[in-house]
Structure 1
Amino acid sequence: MKKLLLITLSLFLFLSCKKTDKEILNETISQLTSITNIEYDVIIENVNKSHNQNIKESATCYFDFSSKDTLIGSKYHFNVNNYGEQVFNGKQEFSSQNKEELVLYNEYPNKRQVSSSMFMFNSFFTLRKILPEIIQDSTIKIGQAQDTILLDKECYKFDILMKGKFIGIGGEILKGKKQKLTDSINYVLFISKKDYLPIRFGNIQPKNQGHNYSTFSNYKIPNTKNDSIWNYSRFPKEYLRSTYNDYYDGLRKKNKNWIGTEAPDWELSDLEEKPIKFSNLDKNMVLLEFWFPYCGGCVQATPILNEIQKNYKDKGLSIYGIEFTNTPAKALLEYSEKQNVEISTLYNGKNVSKDYGVYAAPTFFLIDKKGEIIYTSVGLNKEKLIEEIEKNI
């Protein structure tokens, strides 16, 4: 009898001491918002098995929440492994590219530019901003899953279901488009039982057999950082320093130098495995688009290119889309059908893109029947492109 009473009492004490979901999340919010500055390591995984995508990036991230800036309310410094640095000092945004010995800066960045780094997405900054809003939003469903161990730490695990909403750039909860208000996005949050700091945050993508996770480790709460990290003058003297606009304008001008030159030859296969060799084409005029899946400008260009092909195919214009990230043909076929891509798609075009000096997508080359490049642009200028086609066809 005493043994049964003891077991019952122990169970009662256990249940009465067990924290509720809200208590755990409020404890985490208290931790997040009490921190003025923090440094941690992060690994970002972006997996999309249906498109054979498996991206993994890592960095050491530092946030200073004492910043008085009016854009995001924080300074940050990201030291990106095998690449360089990304910095916002409260006024200026700049990044370094170590291999290219290059520093690009923006004296007057806007909020989107400051927030667009992949290391801002699903970050400590994001959680600090949105978690208080999440627990107050009755339309967002929060459920505690089975406790687990992650990075050798005992963790609480939460499923966060957003219906018709998603977490956007800059750590804001946004509403989806009207036709997608019924869609749900499932986010997962792992919280350390020891200190209530986040260990992993991201979303699951069942349709694509994928996920987008940020996994945090090696937390440090330093009092200060050397002020030199906020100034791009600290980089070696041999580094080229340029504004983003001037640098990319220079690349565009370099791209325009192709005009009047002979287009490099190439041989690629279309999605039906038919080989296409540029020099063997029976052509009057050829338009090449260098692109990759889900590139914003490429998606916007698709219906326009379909229209141009419809209007000029019988007049001698051939259009080819060269995918240059070497996405597998099967994934491109599924993507092309989904996006209603009607122009001929060629794959494994990475080396061809290098031959053409492509550095961004979409990039276009219009080539005449002699094989000379007569027009090129980074991004689609519909009116100018049609004008050049009309003038030379």
Structure 2
Amino acid sequence: MRFLRSSACLLLFFSLSVTAQNRQEKLKKLLDKMEGVAQVSYNTERIIINRANGQDLNYTAAAYFDFTSTDTLIGAKYRFVNQEHGDQVFNGKIEFMAANEQSLVIYDNTPDARRVSSSIFFNPSFYSIRKLVPRLMADAEVKITQEQDILLHGKKYPQISMVLIDKYIDMGIKVSPVSEPNQIKFKYTLLIEPDSNLPHFFGNIRNDGQDIDGAFFSDYDLNPTFDPKYWQMDYMPKDFMRLSGKEYSQRMRNKMKSKVGAMATPWELQDLEGNTVVFPNPKAPLTLLEFWFPYCQGCVLAIPVLNAIQKDYANRGLTVFGIEMTDKPNEMLKKYEAEKGVEVKTLVQGKEVSKAYGVQAAPTYFLIDSDGKILFTSIGMREKELRASIEANLQ
């Protein structure tokens, strides 16, 4: 008995007897059906649940793929329609997305394949499964097994497992080796829609169904006719400002720089031991705030740098706090600190404070004096500039 969440609820899975049809026949039917599709639309529910890391994410979108284009990086166009955050589109040449909260369309005229494949709805997707399964079948080191059928919503779904040792699925479409081989096992599950022979679920299910990284697929429409305008930027909201990725990044940096000289918002937070920290503190000559969240790549890379800065300047009056901005559980953060060697004091439940400071990316830094005036800001660790500002403002 296992549990998966779909449509924001827990679904009970019962194991049933294995059918006589072997896995090769099932996978061949799946691939034959998928390869015969020139265009497809479907609904997808992307799920990421990791109990240890405190992750519990659920996103839905309508997905559209066109495989008839010949001038693309990936051999397809796509559009993911997400009502909450905005559409994401690759039209064969240009990648662009709507940022609904900011009323922006952000575009890249020269995207690379990794950039185009980075959408959360792309990995996994109809496209990625169509590309990936033949590669897994051709890899003699991948163990492919037909598991017991699964009963879901009153329907039995054939279940295929694919086990990789010291390899993992990278960006949804290729198999990459782990950096330090140690007989690490990665198991991926494919559920097949019995009536259509199309994917119903693909992903990594661990810890008896408690941890999930995958997607459900439903409501397929095979070979529909798409309006050519659907792939153009003009189809995006007319009142949204258009910015290139470089222009958007510069705008974000300028927005942070504009805060220099302003007064920082006061706050009161607790550390991991339940002690209350009040800011500003007139007794602290300089305070450095880092807004971060676990496993953010830039945050991880900044850990040794921030540890060193704290060590170098603590005796001269610098106080450093790391404000966790996604409200992860304390126990998870304690384990993370021990795992990554975090020496800076972590303050928790910092989501509202991050909003008050206008933080939209991690890590983001603020250097603030004893009166609460902002002296320096940056998105990402800029160690040389940060150290120069600390030196200039310490007596």
Residues of 2 paired with 1:29 and 1:181: CA distance? Answer: 32
Pick closer, same or farther for the CA change 1:207–1:165 going to 2, 3 Å.
farther
Kindly indicate whether the alpha-carbon contact (under 8 Å) linking 2:41 and 2:224 is maintained by their aligned counterparts in 1.
no
* Structure 1 match to 2:335: 334
Deviation at 1:209, TM superposition (A): 4.1
Deviation at 1:382, TM superposition (A): 1.4
Residues of 1 paired with 2:86 and 2:262: CA distance? Answer: 35
* Structure 2 match to 1:83: 85
Amino acid at match of 2:27: L
Q: Does the residue aligned with 1:335 lie in a helix, a strand or coil?
A: helix
* Structure 1 match to 2:16: none
* Structure 1 match to 2:230: 229
Amino acid at match of 1:276: V
Q: Does the residue aligned with 1:286 lie in a helix, a strand or coil?
A: strand
Kindly indicate whether the alpha-carbon contact (under 8 Å) linking 1:51 and 1:208 is maintained by their aligned counterparts in 2.
no
Note the alpha carbon deviations across 1:132-190, whole angstroms, 9 max, x for none.
0111111111111111233544311011111111111151111111x244211111111
Larger radius of gyration: 1
* Structure 2 match to 1:134: 136
Q: Does the residue aligned with 2:217 lie in a helix, a strand or coil?
A: strand
Kindly indicate whether the alpha-carbon contact (under 8 Å) linking 2:43 and 2:60 is maintained by their aligned counterparts in 1.
yes
Residues of 1 paired with 2:286 and 2:210: CA distance? Answer: 41
Q: Does the residue aligned with 1:225 lie in a helix, a strand or coil?
A: coil
TM-score (norm 2): 0.91
Pick closer, same or farther for the CA change 1:138–1:236 going to 2, 3 Å.
closer
* Structure 1 match to 2:109: 107
Note the alpha carbon deviations across 1:237-271, whole angstroms, 9 max, x for none.
32212112212311210110111222221110000
* Structure 1 match to 2:22: 20
Deviation at 1:286, TM superposition (A): 1.0
Pick closer, same or farther for the CA change 1:18–1:206 going to 2, 3 Å.
closer
* Structure 1 match to 2:10: none
Q: Does the residue aligned with 1:50 lie in a helix, a strand or coil?
A: coil
* Structure 2 match to 1:267: 268
Amino acid at match of 2:170: G
Pick closer, same or farther for the CA change 1:336–1:144 going to 2, 3 Å.
same
Q: Does the residue aligned with 1:58 lie in a helix, a strand or coil?
A: strand
TM-score (norm 1): 0.91
- Are residue 198 (structure 1) and residue 232 (structure 2) matched? no
RMSD over equivalenced CA pairs, Å: 1.8
1:235-384 → structure 2 map (5 Å cutoff): 235-280=236-281, 282-384=283-385
Residues of 1 paired with 2:321 and 2:387: CA distance? Answer: 16
* Structure 1 stretch displaced more, 75-84 or 111-120: 75-84
Deviation at 1:82, TM superposition (A): 2.4
Residues of 1 paired with 2:33 and 2:235: CA distance? Answer: 33
* Structure 2 match to 1:33: 35
Note the alpha carbon deviations across 1:110-150, whole angstroms, 9 max, x for none.
11221110000111111101100111111111111111233
Residues of 2 paired with 1:201 and 1:147: CA distance? Answer: 15
Q: Does the residue aligned with 1:51 lie in a helix, a strand or coil?
A: coil
* Structure 2 match to 1:159: 161
Residues of 2 paired with 1:248 and 1:102: CA distance? Answer: 13
Residues of 2 paired with 1:86 and 1:297: CA distance? Answer: 24
Pick closer, same or farther for the CA change 1:336–1:22 going to 2, 3 Å.
same
* Structure 1 stretch displaced more, 307-316 or 265-274: 307-316
1:178-217 → structure 2 map (5 Å cutoff): 179-206=180-207, 209-217=210-218
* Structure 2 match to 1:59: 61
Note the alpha carbon deviations across 1:176-216, whole angstroms, 9 max, x for none.
11x24421111111112222211100002339941112001
Pick closer, same or farther for the CA change 1:281–1:206 going to 2, 3 Å.
farther
1:64-75 → structure 2 map (5 Å cutoff): 64-75=66-77
* Structure 2 match to 1:121: 123
Extract unaligned runs of 5+ from structure 1: 1-16
* Structure 2 match to 1:8: none
- State the number of aligned residues: 376
Residues of 2 paired with 1:219 and 1:264: CA distance? Answer: 49
Question: Quick one: percent identity of the two aligned structures?
Answer: 39
Q: Does the residue aligned with 1:22 lie in a helix, a strand or coil?
A: helix
Residues of 2 paired with 1:97 and 1:363: CA distance? Answer: 20
Deviation at 1:64, TM superposition (A): 0.8
* Structure 2 match to 1:44: 46
Kindly indicate whether the alpha-carbon contact (under 8 Å) linking 2:99 and 2:105 is maintained by their aligned counterparts in 1.
yes
Residues of 2 paired with 1:118 and 1:210: CA distance? Answer: 17
Residues of 1 paired with 2:124 and 2:81: CA distance? Answer: 17
Q: Does the residue aligned with 1:31 lie in a helix, a strand or coil?
A: helix
Residues of 2 paired with 1:350 and 1:218: CA distance? Answer: 36
Residues of 2 paired with 1:170 and 1:387: CA distance? Answer: 42
Deviation at 1:356, TM superposition (A): 1.1
Amino acid at match of 1:336: E
Residues of 1 paired with 2:206 and 2:178: CA distance? Answer: 16
Deviation at 1:338, TM superposition (A): 1.3
Residues of 1 paired with 2:302 and 2:69: CA distance? Answer: 40
List structure 1 runs of 4+ shifted beyond 6 angstroms. none
* Structure 1 stretch displaced more, 297-306 or 147-156: 147-156
